[in-house]
């Protein structure tokens, strides 16, 4: 075995202070996927998600998508407590402060609404997938994940118009970096994902290339020539093949394209 490197010390997976720093320095300053445009395609549709230790929501306000913190400006209660909702306004379940889908306070019993507004969050789309960033000064999504949208649309041209068909949630008793490290290697695939390596892709064709905030995965179907090489580390270039291709966007977002234009995240 060549090119061996030491992993992180154990404390980086268990230390509470390290975790708190990651919430601030990683999750609060990075682009994180929160859903797909189809989930908020019509006025009044709302989705919620967690970004690090913060709760955010995305609402379709008369055709305009808006992202904001999912927190009442009165006493900090979570505004929308379900993963999805259909609303004409947002009412806090604690003291019934009521907001428009643009975040502006509309009604507060016994109080002057003034100019109170739920703080907005940056929102951008990549091939129909919605990403938010809690940091106003962060670089845009296209600069953070160069080439990903172009390559995704070559593989799946109608990705922005796809409709979410199902959602499965897996909760793991592990530090988030364990999951990320496992995802970004396929050394385990022949043992753990035999269905994938014995029929979906050609054995030995799996490759991974990293560049900036993107890690690109690819593998061919049996008998298919390579669509791109591991040298294309920045996520740009490559062909349209019908093998497997995936794009991991730091810190925790990923889009997978399987043969037959099947897409999941």
Q: Domain boundaries in the chain? A: 27-133, 145-264
CB 95 within 8 A of CB 106: no
d(CA 1, CA 31): 35
CB 153 within 8 A of CB 159: yes
87-136 pLDDT, tens per residue?
999 999 999 999 999 999 999 999 999 999 999 999 999 999 999 999 99
| CB neighbour burial string for 105-114, b if at least 16 within 10 angstroms, e if fewer | beebeeeeee
Lookup: tokens for 190: 């022949």
128-173 pLDDT, tens per residue?
999 999 999 999 999 999 999 999 999 999 999 999 998 888 899 9
d(CA 59, CA 46): 4
Nearest CA-CA partner of 32 in 23, 45, 40, 41? 23
CB within 8 Å of 3: residues ≥ 6 apart = none
Stretch among 15-24, 133-142, 164-173, 248-257 having the lowest mean pLDDT: 164-173
> Which architecture, in CATH terms, is 27-133?
3-layer Sandwich (2.102)
How long, in residues, is the chain?
265
């Amino acid at each position: 075995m060549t090119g061996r490197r030491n992993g992180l010390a154990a404390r980086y997976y268990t230390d509470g202070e390290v975790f708190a720093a990651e919430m601030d320095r990683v999750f609060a300053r990075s682009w994180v996927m929160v859903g797909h445009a189809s989930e908020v395609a019509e006025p009044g549709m709302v989705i919620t998600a967690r970004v690090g230790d913060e709760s955010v929501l995305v609402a379709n306000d008369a055709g305009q998508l808006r992202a904001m913190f999912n927190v009442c400006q009165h006493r900090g209660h979570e505004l929308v407590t379900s993963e999805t909702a259909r609303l004409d306004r947002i009412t806090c379940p604690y003291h019934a402060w009521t907001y428009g889908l643009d975040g502006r306070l509309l009604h507060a019993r016994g109080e002057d609404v003034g100019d109170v507004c739920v703080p907005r969050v940056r929102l951008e789309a990549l091939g129909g997938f919605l990403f938010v960033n809690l940091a106003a000064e962060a670089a845009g999504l296209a600069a953070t994940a160069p080439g990903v949208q172009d390559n995704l649309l070559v593989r799946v041209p109608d990705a922005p118009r796809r409709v979410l068909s199902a959602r499965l949630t897996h909760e793991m008793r592990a530090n988030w970096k364990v999951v990320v490290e496992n995802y970004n290697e396929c050394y385990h695939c022949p043992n753990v994902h035999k269905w994938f390596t014995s029929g979906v892709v050609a054995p030995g064709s799996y490759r991974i290339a990293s560049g900036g905030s993107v890690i690109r995965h690819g593998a061919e179907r049996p008998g298919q020539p390579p669509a791109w090489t591991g040298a294309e580390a920045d996520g740009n270039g490559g062909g349209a093949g019908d093998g497997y291709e995936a794009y991991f966007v730091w810190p925790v977002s990923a889009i997978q394209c399987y043969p037959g234009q099947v897409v999941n995240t």
